[in-house]
A and B are shown apart, each in its own frame.
Chain A
Amino acid sequence: EAQVTQNPRYLITVTGKKLTVTCSQNMNHEYMSWYRQDPGLGLRQIYYSMNVEVTDKGDVPEGYKVSRKEKRNFPLILESPSPNQTSLYFCASSPAGGPSDTQYFGPGTRLTVL
């Protein structure tokens, strides 16, 4: 089944404890992206990747890191999480080398930072 998977789906952690949220797609998509969703603010892009080894900042990159060593994987790293990073996170991928195409979203990761 063609899909985008994220792990974990739910995570409660404490301030300062490094964490990684994994994202994997099995559709051979070029473009991958991370978003966070907060009430009243909609989806905001954190980082995106046009292809392997090519990543760039979105609108809210502070406090996050990403890497794209393989086409299928695009992990999101929070080196020192803070409470303001409590949010619902979505990974997405699309076939083309940019966002002008259907975005396929993962199921989401709900993160709580205490």
Chain B
Amino acid sequence: QKEVEQNSGPLSVPEGAIASLNCTYSDRVSQSFFWYRQYSGKSPELIMSIYSNGDKEDGRFTAQLNKASQYVSLLIRDSQPSDSATYLCAVVMRGGAQKLVFGQGTRLTINP
């Protein structure tokens, strides 16, 4: 099992709809979870971090964490064409040394 797994997509969503991105992880004791957005040819940029079970909202973005199910998701409401990008889930894995492990990314396209 991969340490961090995402649906690779591509995911296509009409403008104005809700885009839902999912991520599962293998380390039961992970405490830190991140969503990065990466536009084509650019570097990743952080859009959300979440550390506690439940929902965390920031503008049109909502991150959801369920540690019991080892599942983290990102919802984008009122999707805009500018949201078209690859979304990377990242999880800090515990163990000998903390390391940040990324999923393979989900490519999201918002159709006008």
Contact = CB atoms under 8 A, between A and B. Distances in A.
Interface of A: 33, 35, 40-45, 48, 56, 58-59, 90, 98-100, 102-103, 105-108
A95 to B, nearest CB: 12
Given A42-B105, A43-B88, A100 B44 contact: no
The DSSP consensus for interface residues of chain A is loop
A43 B102 contact: yes
Nearest to A56: B97
Interface of B: 8, 31-32, 34, 36, 42-46, 49, 88, 90, 92, 97-105
A98 B98 contact: yes
B103 to A, nearest CB: 6
Contacts of B34: 102-103
17 contacts: A40-B104, A42-B103, A43-B90, A43-B102, A44-B102, A56-B97, A59-B99, A90-B43, A99-B32, A100-B31, A100-B32, A100-B92, A103-B34, A103-B44, A103-B46, A105-B43, A105-B45
